[in-house]
Amino acid sequence: MEEKVYNNMEHQIILAQLPYTAPFLFVDGLTAIDTNGVSGFYTFKKEADFYKGHFKNNPITPGVLLTECCAQIGLVCLGIHLITSSDTLRDNALQIALTSSEMEYYLPVYPDEKVSVTSEKIYFRFHKLKCHVKMHNAAGKLVCKGTIAGMLKNKSNE
């Protein structure tokens, strides 16, 4: 991936287009993005409500939220970049739908653990984006990997 480190203004432009807010926003920052992929990071805060019940006396991050983090960074942020690069996205008019995911999990993620996500585009055509994603922990160990696909388009293209 041709690396382009995002400054705060560019980062804020992509974050502003995300259709999520806390407590369901799983993107803290982006470190690189181009037409072939993206990398970013997120820290799962220990105060998050889901840790209270998953699992008793041994809190770990649910796999569905690891997948969501991978999708938000690896699919949605990349999709926003691809669409805005072609000047077709206007006025927060993006519609997003996850169409498929196939993930394999290798290590748990604990409260206050920072993870990094990298994504490589498989294809983007007919409004469908499909990517290979990987999540690593702060020690650089593979947490999970898989393939995620979704539909991204302007509301005005309905």
Average pLDDT over residues 32-57: 94
Q: 17 and 84 in contact (C-beta within 8 Å)? A: yes
Top CATH class, 8-157: alpha beta
Pairwise CA distance, residues 127 & 155, whole Å: 12
Q: Where are the domains of the chain?
A: 8-157
Centroid of chain to Cα 11: 13
Is-above-0.75 flag for pTM?
yes
**Active-site residue, 54 included:** yes
Residue 78, phi-psi category: left (phi > 0), alpha (psi -120 to 50), beta (remainder): alpha
Catalytic hit among 11, 54, 127, 136: 54
Task: With a cut of 90, say whether residue 102 has pLDDT above it.
Answer: yes
Name the amino acid, one letter, at 110: Y
Task: With a cut of 80, say whether residue 28 has pLDDT above it.
Answer: yes
- Residue 106 sits at φ, ψ, to 5 deg, of -120, -35
DSSP string, 128-139: EEEEEEEEEETT
What confidence tier does 127 reach under pLDDT thresholds 50, 70, 90? confident
